[in-house]
Amino acid sequence: METGKSGSDPGPSHESDQIEEDSIHREVLKQQLKDALVYFESLLRNSNLIEAEPSSSLNEETMVIGEEMFQNTLEMLAEKSLVLDEELTDINEIDDSSAYEEVETSLIANESSDEYEPDEKKKKRCQYQSTFNRPLTEKGSKAVLVNRHDINKVTHSYTAQYSITMSGRVLPPVFVCLQETTGTFGPRVQKTVNEYAKKYSNVVITSSKSGKLTTGLYKDFLRNALKPYVQNEKFLLLIDSWGGQTNPELYDEMFQDDKKLPTCTMKIIPPKCTPLVQPCDIYFYRQVKNLIKRLQNCAFLIERDREINSTENCIKIQSIVHHMLSFPIFSDMIRFAWFTSNLTNDRKFFFNVNKVCFPTDTLRNKYSCKNASFIRCTRCRAVLCFPCFHDNYHSGSCDIPATSCH
């Protein structure tokens, strides 16, 4: 689900946070460019195109060449693709869908079910236990044994519905639909879920038999996740072609101004086009997937034969992911998702999850808590080990400024 605003976004301002993040952007970009120049020089030297040491003085011809190289560098930076890692679509990633389920449904409205299965798109559905596609043994082995506490956690999945705006924001709550055999939570489970909802306040929790959204649950999503954000302001809503959400009357009744006039302009992505023009599918969910895998496959957990795939763990993980991706440092990354969908011309340098949360230069040390550093918080910029970050639910309580766990 994506929303496009025609004007300023409602909600609190992030100007002071953005100034701080812009400063971080500039410093990291300058360091990255410096490293690129050192590498460029080494390439020239290895190709025997330059001397190891410069001359004692610069002549006019040398300065002309230098100025031309400077101008070419500025043009290259202005036109450079702004993805700062290798995580855009790669030919080797086409089948990398272990954390999500591919769903296809009929294009004919009267043949579609009530469950949320968008046409011919890779619907992003999270497994209770995600895994990295890495080699488990040597090639040619006849038997490969893998230890799993609960195999159902690998085969079963649930829905996590995020919404992003063209201005680069993630809407306040993430809508999570868990899988329940009866379709609804029992009295005891509902009591527990209510406690989870209070603890993880940025998550709206519901359920269905399949773990997929139905038309009724989609209405709950609009009411609980989208309506509080847009309120009675006019907005543009971009959706896929699933028949359960394309009825205009649904939006005309839900979104009205003070004069009872509709405020939602709905645009439907044509069938077979969602993998091409839907911002969440093209780039944003790739970052969500990466962060979830990092959390569930942390070395700290593997060393202790521990898994975090219970109902509370899944809700907690989605809460953490939402907290992390909602901070302004990822605004340009979210705008890039719209740019790659050819829906906007706004393109800037940005940092994705790997660059911001898992920088190699700061995640090599151990602290006084005796655990290796694991992640950098996007809000307070503290470097934390896994227990301090995940087990202590740091993202739900961190403040600025904060210190690392040393």
Residue ranges covered by each domain of the chain: 2-8+88-132+149-340, 359-396
**Greater pLDDT, 48 or 400:** 48
The Cα–Cα gap between 401 and 289 comes to 28
Chain segment 161-217, per-residue pLDDT in tens: 999 999 999 998 999 999 888 999 999 999 999 999 999 999 999 999 988 888 999
Q: Which helix (H) or strand (E) holds 30?
A: helix 15-46
Predicted pLDDT at 86: 41
Q: How far is CA 135 from the centre of its chain?
A: 25
Predicted pLDDT at 145: 65
Angle, CA 144 vertex, CA 138 and CA 145 arms, to 5°: 135
Task: Assess whether pLDDT exceeds 80 at residue 364.
Answer: no
Q: Is 249 helix (H, G, I), strand (E, B) or coil?
A: helix
Predicted pLDDT at 201: 93
Predicted pLDDT at 134: 61
**Greater pLDDT, 135 or 388:** 388
Q: Is 273 helix (H, G, I), strand (E, B) or coil?
A: coil
Task: Assess whether pLDDT exceeds 70 at residue 135.
Answer: no
**Greater pLDDT, 158 or 113:** 158
Find where tokens 């394309």 sit: 246
Predicted pLDDT at 320: 96
Q: Given pLDDT bands bounded at 50, 70 and 90, which one contains residue 268?
A: very high
Chain segment 272-290, per-residue pLDDT in tens: 888 889 999 889 999 998 9
Task: Assess whether pLDDT exceeds 80 at residue 234.
Answer: yes
Q: Is the dihedral of CA 128, 134, 139, 141 positive or negative?
A: negative
Query: Among residues of the chain, what percentage have pLDDT more than 70?
Result: 71
Alpha helices, H only, 139-284: 152-155, 187-199, 215-221, 227-230, 248-254, 274-277, 279
Q: Assess contact for 124 and 281: CB atoms under 8 A.
A: yes
Burial 327-338 (b: 16+ CB within 10 A, else e): bbbbbbbbbbbb
Chain segment 58-77, per-residue pLDDT in tens: 787 787 788 788 877 776 66
Q: How large is the average pLDDT for residues 213-242? A: 92
Q: Assess contact for 202 and 319: CB atoms under 8 A.
A: yes
Q: Assess contact for 150 and 164: CB atoms under 8 A.
A: no
- Beta strand ranges found along 84-195 (DSSP E): 125-127, 157-161, 164-165, 174-179
Predicted pLDDT at 64: 76
Task: Assess whether pLDDT exceeds 50 at residue 229.
Answer: yes
Predicted pLDDT at 335: 94
Kindly report the average pLDDT of the chain as a whole number.
Answer: 78
**Greater pLDDT, 206 or 100:** 206
Which stretch of 1-10, 200-209, 360-369 has the lowest confidence by average pLDDT?
A: 1-10
The Cα–Cα gap between 26 and 248 comes to 44
Task: Assess whether pLDDT exceeds 70 at residue 5.
Answer: no
Q: How far is CA 239 from the centre of its chain?
A: 18
Q: How many Cα atoms occupy the beta-carbon half-sphere of 73 within 13 Å?
A: 11
pTM value?
Answer: 0.69
Chain segment 326-355, per-residue pLDDT in tens: 999 999 999 999 999 999 998 888 889 998
Predicted pLDDT at 111: 34
Predicted pLDDT at 102: 33
In terms of phi and psi (left: phi > 0; alpha: psi -120 to 50; beta: otherwise), the region of 70 is: alpha
Q: Given pLDDT bands bounded at 50, 70 and 90, which one contains residue 29?
A: confident
Q: How large is the average pLDDT for residues 235-258? A: 92
Q: Which amino acid type is present at position 38?
A: V
Show Cβ contacts of residue 298 under 8 Å, excluding neighbours closer than 6 positions. Answer: 374, 386, 390
Show Cβ contacts of residue 101 under 8 Å, excluding neighbours closer than 6 positions. Answer: 123, 125, 157
In terms of phi and psi (left: phi > 0; alpha: psi -120 to 50; beta: otherwise), the region of 160 is: beta
Query: Among residues of the chain, what percentage have pLDDT more than 90?
Result: 38
Q: Given pLDDT bands bounded at 50, 70 and 90, which one contains residue 129?
A: low
Nearest of 344, 346, 377 to residue 359 by alpha carbon: 377
Q: Given pLDDT bands bounded at 50, 70 and 90, which one contains residue 128?
A: low
Q: How large is the average pLDDT for residues 351-363? A: 84
Predicted pLDDT at 87: 41
- Beta strand ranges found along 283-352 (DSSP E): none
Nearest of 2, 7, 10 to residue 230 by alpha carbon: 10
Predicted pLDDT at 168: 94
Predicted pLDDT at 43: 84
Task: Assess whether pLDDT exceeds 90 at residue 389.
Answer: yes
Q: How far is CA 64 from the centre of its chain?
A: 45
Predicted pLDDT at 107: 29
Angle, CA 105 vertex, CA 116 and CA 157 arms, to 5°: 50
Predicted pLDDT at 23: 61
Q: What is the DSSP letter of 222?
A: I
Task: Assess whether pLDDT exceeds 50 at residue 121.
Answer: no
Predicted pLDDT at 148: 60
